[in-house]
Amino acid sequence: MRCPYCDNQNTRVVDTREASEKVRRRRECSGCDRRFTTYETVEKVDITVIKRDGENEEFREEKIYDGVERAASKTSIT
């Protein structure tokens, strides 16, 4: 993490606090001794389905169930 004041690459974490879905860290630059705050969050994993016609669509679990149900409806599979 580069210092926003002097661009130094060496910073150290002086305080860490967890707040719901993110982690807040206070950092201190070892070059200019100034402090700044960073936030760490989890990147959400979005699954996109690329359909046969090339269209993109958000993945929906229900559609899988519906498809399996439809495929099994005319068989002896319960």
CB crowding 16-54: b at 16 or more within 10 Å, else e: eeeeeeeeebebbbeeeeeeeeeeeeeeeeeeeeeeeee
Q: Does 72 bind Zn ion (CB under 5 A)?
A: no
Q: Please say which residue, 8 or 38, places its beta carbon nearer to Zn ion.
A: 8
| Binding map of Zn ion across residues 2-41, x = CB under 5 A, - = no contact | -x-xx-x--------------------x-xx---------
Token pair, residue 54, equals 């090339």
Q: Please say which residue, 33 or 57, places its beta carbon nearer to Zn ion.
A: 33
In this structure, the number of other CB atoms found within 10 A of the CB of residue 4 comes to 14
Site for Zn ion, rule CB under 5 A: 3, 5-6, 8, 29, 31-32
